[in-house]
Amino acid sequence: MRGYIVRRIAYVLPVLLGVVTVVFLALRLIPGDPAIALAGEKASAEQIEQMREALGLNRPLPVQYVEFIGRLASGDLGRSIRTGGDIRQELIENFAPTIELSIAALLIALAVGLPAGILAALRRRTPIEYGTMIGSLVGISMPVFWIGLMLIYWLGARAAWFPLSGTASAGLDIPARTHFYTIDGLLTGDFTVFGDVLWHLVLPAITLSTITMAIVSRMARSSMLEVLGSDYLVTARAKGLSARTVVLRHALKNALIPVVTVIGLQLGALLSGAVLTETVFGRVGVGRYVLNAITARDYPVVQATVIVVALFVVVISLVVDLVYAILDPRIRYA
Amino acid sequence: MRNSTMSRRALLRAAGAATIVAACAPVTTQPGATQTGTTATTKPAGATGTLTFLWGGDTDKLDPPAMTTQEGFIATTALYEGLVRYKPNSTDVEPALAERMPDISSDGLAYTFHLRSGIKFHDGSPLTAEAVAFSFDRSINKDNPLFKEAQAAGGFPFIDDYIGNVVAKVEAVGALDVRFTLRRKFSPLVPNLAIPPGFVISMEALKKYGSKINENPVGTGPFKFVEWKKDDHITVENFDGYWGDRAKLQRIIFQPVPEASVRILKIQRGEGDIAWPFDPKDASSVKGKADTDVLEQPGLNVNMAEFNLKKAQFQNKPLRQALNYAINKQELADKLYSGAGVPAVGVLPATSWGFDSTLKGYTYDPEKAKALLKDAKYGGETITLDSYTIPRGYNPQGAKLAEAVQQYFQAVGVKSEIKTTEWTEYRKIRRQGELNVAFGGWQADTGDPENFLGVFFYSKNQGGVNTSFYGTPEVDKLLEQANEETDTPKRKALFNQAEAKIVDDAPWLFISHMKQQVAIRKRVKDFVLQPTYIYYFNKVSVS
Q: What ipTM describes this predicted complex? A: 0.84
- A296 close contact with B: CB closer than 8 A: yes
CA nearest neighbour of B508 among B298, B331, B303, B368: B303
Residues of B in contact with A84 (CB under 8 A): 61, 63, 66, 152-154, 211, 214
Q: Of B19, B232, B428, which has the smallest distance from its Cβ to A167's Cβ?
A: B232
Strands B341-343 and B383-388, by their bridges, are: unpaired
Report the distance separating Cα B88 and Cα A208, nearest Å.
Answer: 45
For B269, the closest of A32, A94, A157 (CB atoms) is: A157
Residue A246 contacts B where some CB pair is shorter than 8 Å: no
Position with higher pLDDT, B428 vs A114: A114
The minimal CB distance from B255 to the residues A83, A166, A202 is found for: A166
> Using the beta-carbon criterion (under 8 Å), do B231 and A292 form an inter-chain contact?
yes
**Is B268 in the A-facing interface, judged by CB distances under 8 Å?**
yes
Per-residue model confidence (pLDDT) at position B38? 38
Task: Please list every residue in chain A whose beta carbon sits closer than 8 Å to the beta carbon of residue B50.
Answer: 170-171
- Whether A93 contacts chain B with CB within 8 A: yes
Strands B301-307 and B437-443: antiparallel
Which run of H or E residues covers position B525?
A: strand B524-525
| Helices marked H in B458-507 | 473-484, 488-505
Q: Quick check: A44 and B231 CB within 8 A?
A: no
For residue A198, list chain B residues with Cβ-Cβ distance below 8 A: 20, 23-24
Spell out which residues of chain B touch residue A46, defining contact as CB-CB under 8 Å.
464
How far are the Cα atoms of A30, A126, A209, A252, B363 from residue A129, in angstroms, in the given order? 46, 5, 20, 17, 65
Residues B260, B282 contacting (CB under 8 angstroms): yes
Dist CA A251 CA A29 (whole Å): 51
Yes or no: say if B50 and B253 are a contact pair by the CB < 8 Å rule.
Answer: yes
Q: How far apart are the first and last CA of chain B?
A: 61
Q: Do B230 and A152 touch (CB under 8 A)?
A: no
pLDDT at B30: 43
Residue A282: pLDDT over 60: yes
**CA A10 vs CA A21, A76, A309, A312, B155: distances in Å:** 18, 21, 18, 15, 41
Separation between Cα atoms, residue B41 and residue B28, nearest integer Å: 19
Cα–Cα–Cα angle for A252, A256, A258, rounded to 5 degrees: 145
Question: pLDDT-based confidence at A246, cuts 50/70/90?
Answer: confident
**B424 to chain A: which residues are within 8 Å by CB?**
31-33, 36-37, 297
Q: Return the residue of B nearest to A83 by Cα.
A: B60
Using an 8 Å CB-CB cutoff, list chain A residues near B39.
173
Please answer yes or no on whether A171 and B232 come within 8 Å at the CB atom. Answer: no
Amino acid identity at A93? E
Are the Cβ atoms of B229 and A40 closer than 8 angstroms? no
SS3 of B341-410: the string is: EEECCCCCCCCCCCCCCCCCCCCCCHHHHHHHHHHCCCCCCCEEEEEECCCECCECCCCHHHHHHHHHHH
Beta strands B274-275; B50-55: pairing state: parallel
Residue A91, helix vs strand vs coil: helix
- Count CB neighbours of A125 within 10 A: 7
Cα separation, B128 vs B133, in Å, equals 9
In degrees and rounded to multiples of 5, residue B95 shows phi and psi of -65, 145
Tell me which H or E stretch contains B47: none
| Element of type H or E holding B132 | helix B129-140
* 3-state SS assignment for residue B156: coil
Interchain proximity A83–B60, CB inside 8 Å: yes
Top-ranked range on mean pLDDT: pick from A34-43, A322-331, B217-226: B217-226
pLDDT value at position B19?
42
| Residue B311 pLDDT | 96
- Kind and range of the H or E element at B36? none
CB of B238 within 8 Å of a chain A CB? The answer is no
Torsion of CA A235, A236, A241, A247, to 10 degrees: -140
**Chain A / chain B CB contacts < 8 angstroms:** 199
Q: B357: burial class by Cβ within 10 Å (0-12, 13-18, 19+)?
A: exposed
> pLDDT tens, A173-194?
888 889 999 999 999 888 889 9
Per-10-residue mean pLDDT of chain B, 543 residues long, equals 36 41 43 38 66 92 90 96 95 95 95 98 98 97 93 79 91 98 94 95 97 95 95 95 95 94 94 92 94 94 96 97 98 93 95 93 97 96 92 86 96 96 84 93 90 93 90 96 92 97 98 95 96 93 93
B41 part of contact set with chain A, CB < 8 Å: no
Q: Mapping DSSP to helix (H, G, I), strand (E, B) and coil, where does residue A18 land?
A: helix
Q: Judge: B265–A164 Cβ closer than 8 Å, yes or no.
A: yes
The Cβ of residue A298 has, within 10 Å, a number of other Cβ atoms equal to: 26
Closest CA to B31 of B215, B231, B226, B235: B235
How many angstroms separate the CA of residue A102 from the nearest CA in chain B? 18
Most A-contacting residue of B159, B424, B435, B451 (CB-CB within 10 A), to test interface: B424
Put simply, whether B9 touches A (Cβ < 8 Å) is no
- The H or E element that residue A158 is part of is none
What is the predicted pLDDT for the residue at B11? 36
CA–CA separation, A40 vs B61, rounded Å?
A: 13
- Averaged pLDDT, A63-69: 88
How many Å apart are CA A115 and CA A130, to the nearest integer?
14
Distance of CA B413 to the CA centre of its chain: 38
Give me the pLDDT at residue B17, please: 44
Say whether B232 and A166 touch across the interface (CB within 8 A). yes
Q: Tell me the nearest-neighbour CA distance from A261 into chain B, angstroms.
A: 30
Instruction: Report the SS3 class of residue A53.
Output: helix
Per DSSP, the residues of A317-330 read: HHHHHHHHHHH-TT
Interface list for B 122-181 with A (CB within 8 A): 151-155, 157-158, 160-161
The overall average pLDDT reported for chain B is: 89
Q: Pairing mode, if any, of strands B233-238 and B341-343?
A: unpaired
Window 35-64 of A, Cβ < 8 Å to B: 36-48, 50-51, 54-55
Tell me the C-alpha distance between B391 and A219, whole Å. Answer: 41
Candidates B529, B534, B344, B356; CA nearest to B449 is B356
Distances (CA, A) of B62 to B37, B158, B196, B197: 26, 14, 10, 11
Q: How many CB atoms lie within 10 A of CB B329?
A: 23
Nearest by CB: A157 against B231, B268, B422: B268
Task: Check: CB of residue B514 under 8 Å from CB of residue B303.
Answer: yes
Amino acid, single-letter form, for residue A66: V
CA B170 to chain centre: 26
Q: Do B26 and A163 touch (CB under 8 A)?
A: yes
Burial B44-64 (b: 16+ CB within 10 A, else e): beebbbbbbbbbbbbbbbbbb
Dist. CA A179–CA A184, nearest whole Å: 7
pLDDT for residue A334: 57
Between CA A64 and CA A68 the distance in angstroms is: 6
Q: Residues of B with CB below 8 A from A108's CB?
A: none
Q: Distance (Å) from the C-alpha of residue A30 to the closest C-alpha of chain B?
A: 9
Q: How many Å apart are CA B449 and CA B269, to the nearest integer?
A: 40
Main-chain dihedrals φ then ψ at residue B482, nearest 5 degrees: -65, -35
**Average pLDDT of chain A, as a whole number:** 87
Distance of CA B230 to the CA centre of its chain: 20
Chain A residues with CB-CB distance to B266 below 8 A: 164-165
Distance from CA of A114 to the nearest CA of B (A): 21
Q: Do A191 and B23 touch (CB under 8 A)?
A: yes
- Please count the other Cβ atoms lying within 10 Å of the Cβ belonging to residue B106: 6
Q: What whole-number distance in Å separates Cα of residue B153 and Cα of residue A55?
A: 9
For B211, the closest chain A residue by CA position comes to A84
Using the predicted structure, report yes or no on whether residue A324 has a pLDDT greater than 80. Answer: no
The span from the CA of A66 to the CA of A267, in Å, is 32
Which 3 state secondary structure label does DSSP give A85?
A: coil
